[in-house]
A and B are shown apart, each in its own frame.
Chain A
Amino acid sequence: MYINIEEPTKKISPDAIRIWRMTNAIIEGIVLLVIGGLLFSGYYFDWKEWIVWIFWGLLSLSIFATVYSVWFEPAITQRTWRYEIDEDYIQLKYGRFEKHHKLIPMAKVEYVSTNQGPFLRKYDLYDLTIGTVTSSHKIPAIPREEAIALRAKIGFLAKLKDSDEEMDAAADDN
């Protein structure tokens, strides 16, 4: 039974799939290398048998993890990511198995920034980070023009709605 919350509409760039495949493949490759190295030294230095068994266990687990995080996960994440930014709210929705619906009032936004790593640069994409007093949120892989426009929009709206809390409270109390 899915929860009936109206989903935001905007999607993130499909290029995100390829980017995440690449980054995840690199990370998992390093993990596999480390485990392989441990296994090798386990046999080479004659470590205790149960330690070597743990290494084998880790290896088989991380092979599964690699298949999942390189092949399935990027596509799932890209397909399920939605966001929407209007005058009053930032809405985020992501996740397939565990679904997350986030709602951040524009008045509570403290800062907004765009970041770009080497892989994102290749596809001319940006991550957009939105911070509140209590946490920060990342909308990944947004095309350049859109990211910059969003940054400007949020910056403008957040300033406009700057939460002077006592004013909020006063309005609420009356």
Chain B
Amino acid sequence: MTTEKQRYHPSSVLFQLYSLLKGSFFIILYLFVLRSSQDTGFWQIAKAAFLAFLVMATLKILLNWMFNRYELSNEAIVLYNGIFVKKQRTIGFKRIQNVQQTTNFLHRLLKLTSLTLETGTSGDEASVRFPVLAYQEADRIKGIVEKAKLPEELQPDREEAVELPSITVPKRQIYFTPSKKDLIKAAFTSFSVLAIFPILFSLYFQIDDFFNLDNASRSVFHYLTGHLWLLLPILLAALLLSAMIGFITTYSKYGKFEISADEDRIYIKKGVFTESIFSIQKDKVQAIKLEQPFLKRMLGMVEVKLLSAGNVGDEAVETNSLFPFLPIKDAHQLVKQLLPSYEFSDEMKPLPKNTLWLRLLRPYYFWIIATAALLYFKMEWAWLSAVLLVFLIALRIADFRFTQYAFNERFVQIRKGAFVVETFITKRVKIQEIEVTQGWLQRKFGVASLHFHNRGKPLHISVLQDVPNAAGQQFYLWFKGRSKVVKL
């Protein structure tokens, strides 16, 4: 194993300069294009200050590259940062919760990639990022990190297994890739086929800001009312176009989707233009979450998410999601294959019947506030308050009917929700702490609430309201029995 300090890839300088320019694009445009003619005192100082800033920033990028180093050993990665103030950071591989590799368009042009190792801590130093590096180096780092995950005594076994000719087949196996049918379903269920309409609207109003379109649109409207049959082809064309765009956006997101796994890790690959690979050690999966919004429930689909204690990628990328439009049966099958140590319980218990009354009896704070506001501001719309109340009651009934729970020796599984029905499964050892509460009204009904915390970003607190007293007691004892199972 090489244990020498290394510089980051030289192209990282290029990438950082690029993002520096991109970030200051508007300032440059403003100072040197729009205000280029103004050379009075203030603007001159502003320009000079900005140029000085650019020079300093560039210098810093260069110096950082020259002085920063990293070093990999068998157990940890050490980062040496700082130009004048030297800083050394050691991150043990054991603490790494998941690994993400993202390759955007610029990376691809230069045959490079980026790598992020996520730890479970909070703050700026929660992750180790390599914004630019060669594939080879990324593979090397991943290799070391992943190998370090195995308990010491298991490691030689693994190497032996690789040498044996009979098991030369890579252990990593692909478990899921979406078919064309899946993609089409995904495009329609995610409403991305309709995404074009808001875009068109905002475009219209943006152009309208500059050129007054009111007259033009009025005359178009006038013409159309005279020739109603024209509406049909226009509508069809618009629908076709939006379906195409919707399909392309869906394709760019899920087109090359692939879930694979080997003995101890799960890999989720996605994205056509920007490719990202998320990998997590099976033991580091904190919990599994199955989400079913209303529409997906109608269509028998489900989204399965793996909870990690580390960050799971930014924005809408949701790298930790197994394909979001899985048929329920396939989803269960997939989870079984990927995480054999997890078990779905088919025998979940519903809440006792009488708790429905308890749930309906609880005060409707939102309704009270809404009604008060309505009475004050819009007396004539007061009937809306009745509609709202019926709606809220319906939601509570739905939630009551969907709520179920089960705990067996090592797992707890709960389901709840009205619009989005969510099933949550976690192992007892992954639960950080529990709480059983019982309010005054709950006591009258002989029920209690269960709370349990799981690691995650953000941390995940599950609450299951109104289970029978006996179940609350059982839950408490179940968690207490933990010490008999976990050998330390």
* A1 on the B face (CB < 8 A): yes
Q: In the complex, how many angstroms separate the beta carbon of B162 from the nearest chain A beta carbon?
A: 22
Do B455 and A134 touch across chains, with their CB atoms under 8 A apart?
Answer: yes
Name the residue among A3, A105, A172 with the largest chain B CB count within 10 angstroms: A3
Q: Which size bracket describes the interface of B in this complex?
A: 35 or more
Q: How far is the CA of A166 from the CA of B341 in the complex (A)?
A: 13
* A61 on the B face (CB < 8 A): no
Q: Please give 9 more A-B residue pairs, beta carbons under 8 A apart, in addition to A5-B473, A99-B437, A171-B485.
A: A3-B472, A4-B473, A88-B482, A88-B483, A103-B433, A105-B482, A165-B429, A169-B429, A169-B430
Which of these, A5, A166, A172, contacts B410 with CB under 8 Å?
Answer: A172
Do A102 and B434 touch across chains, with their CB atoms under 8 A apart?
Answer: yes
Interface pairs A-B: 7 shortest CB-CB: A1-B446, A134-B453, A88-B483, A168-B429, A104-B433, A169-B283, A134-B459
Q: How far is the CA of A26 from the CA of B341 in the complex (A)?
A: 55
* B212 on the A face (CB < 8 A): no
* A49 on the B face (CB < 8 A): no
Within 8 A of A (CB), among B99-135: 120
Which of these, A164, A168, A170, A173, contacts B94 with CB under 8 Å?
Answer: A164
Q: Give residues in B with beta carbon < 8 Å to A.
A: 94, 120, 149, 151, 281, 283-284, 309, 341, 410, 427-430, 432-440, 443-444, 446, 448, 453-455, 459, 461, 469, 472-473, 476, 479-480, 482-483, 485-488
Q: How far is the CA of A99 from the CA of B283 in the complex (A)?
A: 35
Task: Please classify the interface of chain A as helix (H, G, I), strand (E, B), loop, or mixed, using the class held by over half of its residues.
Answer: mixed
Do B480 and A169 touch across chains, with their CB atoms under 8 A apart?
Answer: no
Do A101 and B437 touch across chains, with their CB atoms under 8 A apart?
Answer: yes
Which of these, B283, B446, B480, contacts A103 with CB under 8 Å?
Answer: B480
Q: How far is the CA of A41 from the CA of B430 in the complex (A)?
A: 56
Do A102 and B341 touch across chains, with their CB atoms under 8 A apart?
Answer: no
Do B472 and A5 touch across chains, with their CB atoms under 8 A apart?
Answer: yes
Do B434 and A3 touch across chains, with their CB atoms under 8 A apart?
Answer: no
Do B479 and A103 touch across chains, with their CB atoms under 8 A apart?
Answer: yes
Chain B residues near A98 (CB-CB < 8 A): 437-440
Do A132 and B433 touch across chains, with their CB atoms under 8 A apart?
Answer: yes
Which of these, A102, A161, A169, contacts B435 with CB under 8 Å?
Answer: A102
Chain A residues near B341 (CB-CB < 8 A): 173
Number of interface residues of A (CB under 8 A): 35
Report if A1-B428 is in contact (Cβ < 8 Å); known contacts: A102-B435, A133-B455, A171-B485. Answer: no
Do B486 and A166 touch across chains, with their CB atoms under 8 A apart?
Answer: no
Chain A residues near B309 (CB-CB < 8 A): 133
| In the complex, residue of chain A having the shortest beta-carbon distance to the beta carbon of B472 | A3
Chain A residues near B469 (CB-CB < 8 A): 1-4
Q: In the complex, how many angstroms separate the beta carbon of B142 from the nearest chain A beta carbon?
A: 18
* A107 on the B face (CB < 8 A): yes
Do A103 and B485 touch across chains, with their CB atoms under 8 A apart?
Answer: no
Within 8 A of B (CB), among A75-128: 88-89, 95, 97-105, 107-108
| In the complex, residue of chain B having the shortest beta-carbon distance to the beta carbon of A168 | B429
Name the residue among B433, B439, B448, B459 with the largest chain A CB count within 10 angstroms: B433
| In the complex, residue of chain B having the shortest beta-carbon distance to the beta carbon of A164 | B94
Q: In the complex, how many angstroms separate the beta carbon of B255 from the nearest chain A beta carbon?
A: 34
Which of these, A108, A161, A168, contacts B433 with CB under 8 Å?
Answer: A108
| In the complex, residue of chain A having the shortest beta-carbon distance to the beta carbon of B286 | A165
Q: How far is the CA of A155 from the CA of B341 in the complex (A)?
A: 32
* A167 on the B face (CB < 8 A): yes
Chain A residues near B455 (CB-CB < 8 A): 133-134
Chain B residues near A132 (CB-CB < 8 A): 432-433, 453
Q: How far is the CA of A99 from the CA of B476 in the complex (A)?
A: 14
Do A168 and B439 touch across chains, with their CB atoms under 8 A apart?
Answer: no
Chain A residues near B476 (CB-CB < 8 A): 5, 101, 103
Q: In the complex, how many angstroms separate the beta carbon of A154 from the nearest chain B beta carbon?
A: 14
Report if A105-B483 is in contact (Cβ < 8 Å); known contacts: A134-B432, A134-B461. Answer: yes
Chain B residues near A100 (CB-CB < 8 A): 435-437
Q: In the complex, how many angstroms separate the beta carbon of B433 from the nearest chain A beta carbon?
A: 4
| In the complex, residue of chain A having the shortest beta-carbon distance to the beta carbon of B340 | A173
Chain B residues near A135 (CB-CB < 8 A): 432-433, 453, 459
Q: How far is the CA of A160 from the CA of B488 in the complex (A)?
A: 9
